[in-house]
């Protein structure tokens, strides 16, 4: 498993390539599929495959995301915290794109951006605040699982959606909270808040609160508060 490769933050590189992408969330032990087509990021993937196979996912900071969407060559200001993933699958398409999967390893704090000669950005990072990310299910016993499942059930029913409840019930608390956070339909600021949540239960409570707000907005006359 990817998590077994990194026993401590000493096993992680001091600088990593970063992929700025608004509204995208990667968390430890979740998987993120990406369709890579820009030349600079194709270059980044090639270099990662030859090296540490680590890529940092990070969001542009606030309005910088708008600048980035309008100008592909812009270097928007980055949020201070991202999550690194190990490149665990790679497929090249007939039209030159690369389909990759990143498996989340640990969050990091950006300390500086390096003056790199590569077409993609490289940052010096500090892992020390997030060493517990390397431990599978850290803090999982504190998660209010029933509250999350209750609000999830209400959300799915409200929007006429189906779920594989058998798989959900078999998921660990960490897998449940982190996977739902990754696929949640919330905006960049909310995704960043979920990323930066101090503990797994903090992320769980934030996810519950965001979902309750979404339910209230969808059905303003319905009380959707989970007791």
Residues 35-91 have pLDDT tens digits of 999 999 999 999 999 999 999 999 999 775 555 556 666 789 999 999 999 999 999
Tens digit of each residue's pLDDT (9 = 90 or more) over 123-167 = 999 999 999 999 999 999 999 999 999 999 999 999 999 989 999
- Determine the Cα–Cα distance for residues 222 and 219; give it in Å rounded to an integer: 5
Whole-angstrom Cα distance, residue 105 to residue 9?
10
The model carries a pTM of 0.89
For the chain, the DSSP string reads -GGGG-SSGGGS-SEEEEEE-TT----TT-EEEEEE-SHHHHHHHHHHHHTT-EEEEE-B-TTHHHHHHH-TT----B-SEEEEEEEEEEEE-TTS-EEEEEEEEEEEEEEEE---SSSSEEEEEE-GGGGGGGSTTTTGGG--HHHHHHHHHHHHHHTT----HHHHHHS-HHHHHHHHHHH----HHHHHHHHH-SSHHHHHHHHHHHHHHHHHHH-TTS-----
Integer Cα distance of 66 and 77 in angstroms: 11
- Domain parsing of the chain, residue ranges: 2-134, 140-218
Write down the pLDDT at residue 67.
Answer: 56
Mean pLDDT of 97-112: 98
Tell the residue number behind the tokens 């498996």, with chain if given: 103
- CA angle (109, 14, 100) in 5-degree steps: 80
CA 69/CA 66 separation, integer angstroms: 5
Mean of the per-residue pLDDT values of the chain:
92
**pLDDT tens-place string over residues 184-224:** 999 999 999 999 999 999 999 999 999 999 999 887 554 44
Compute the distance between CA of residue 146 and CA of residue 116 in angstroms, rounded to an integer: 48
Token pair recorded at residue 139:
């803090």
CATH node for 2-134: 2.30.130.40
């Amino acid at each position: 498993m990817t998590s077994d490769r990194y026993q401590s933050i000493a096993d992680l590189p001091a600088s990593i390539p970063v992929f700025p992408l608004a509204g995208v969330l990667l968390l430890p032990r979740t998987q993120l599929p990406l369709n890579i087509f820009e030349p600079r990021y194709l270059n980044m993937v090639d270099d990662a495959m030859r090296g540490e196979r680590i890529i940092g996912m990070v969001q542009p900071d606030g309005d910088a995301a708008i600048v980035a969407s309008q100008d592909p060559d812009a270097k928007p200001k980055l949020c201070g915290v991202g999550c690194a993933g190990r490149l665990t699958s790679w497929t090249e398409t007939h039209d030159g794109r690369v389909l990759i999967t990143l498996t989340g390893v640990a969050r990091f704090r950006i300390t500086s951006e390096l003056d790199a000669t590569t077409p993609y950005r490289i940052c010096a990072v500090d892992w020390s605040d997030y060493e517990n990310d390397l431990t599978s299910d850290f803090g999982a016993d504190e998660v209010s699982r029933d509250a999350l499942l209750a609000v999830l059930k209400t959300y799915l029913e409200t929007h006429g959606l189906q779920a594989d409840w058998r798989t959900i019930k078999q998921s660990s608390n960490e897998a449940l909270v982190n996977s739902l956070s990754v696929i949640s339909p919330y905006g960049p600021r909310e995704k960043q808040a979920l990323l930066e949540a101090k503990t797994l239960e903090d992320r769980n409570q934030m996810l519950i609160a965001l979902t309750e707000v979404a339910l209230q907005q969808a059905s303003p006359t319905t009380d959707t508060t989970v007791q």
